[in-house]
Amino acid sequence: MTEDEMIESLNQTTGRDASRVDYDEYSRYDAEDKNYIYEAKDRKKHFLRTMIEDKKFKANNDWGDRLEKEFIYLVHSNDNMYIFNVTELVGEGYNFGWHERLCKKTTDFGESKMELKKVGYIHLNKAVRTYKT
11-41 pLDDT tens trace: 999 999 999 987 665 567 999 999 999 999 9
Tell me if 11 is assigned to some domain.
Answer: yes
Tell me the three state secondary structure of residue 90: helix
- Tally of CA atoms within 13 A in the half-sphere of 33 that contains its CB: 12
Residues 82-117: tens digit of each pLDDT: 999 999 999 999 999 999 998 887 765 566 788 999
Is residue 88, in this structure, part of any structural domain at all?
yes
As a whole number, the mean pLDDT across the chain is 92
Question: Is position 99 within any domain?
Answer: no
Could you tell me if residue 127 is inside a domain? yes
Domain annotation covers residue 100:
no
End-to-end CA distance of the chain: 9
CA distances from 62 to 2, 40, 92 (A): 25, 17, 17
Q: What confidence tier does 65 reach under pLDDT thresholds 50, 70, 90?
A: very high
3-class SS of residue 48? coil
pLDDT of 110: 62
pLDDT value, residue 113 = 86
Q: Are strands 70-77 and 36-42 parallel, antiparallel or unpaired?
A: parallel
Any domain includes 58: yes
Return d(Cα 45, Cα 7) in angstroms, integer. 20
CA-based R_g, the chain, Å: 14
118 belongs to a structural domain? no
Expressed as residue numbers, the domain containing 55 is 3-93+123-132
Q: What pTM, to 2 d.p., does this model score?
A: 0.91
Asked if the structure places residue 105 within a domain, the reply is no
Q: How far is CA 48 from the centre of its chain?
A: 15
The shares of helix, strand and coil residues in the chain, as percent rounded to the nearest 5, are 25, 40, 35
Q: Taking the CB of residue 40, how many other CB atoms lie within 10 A of it? A: 24
**Using 50, 70 and 90 to split pLDDT, how confident is the model at 57?**
very high
Q: How many domains does the chain have?
A: 1
At 86, the amino acid letter reads: V
The closest alpha carbon to 39, from 17, 13, 64, belongs to 64
The domain spanning residue 87 has which CATH number?
A: 3.40.1350.10
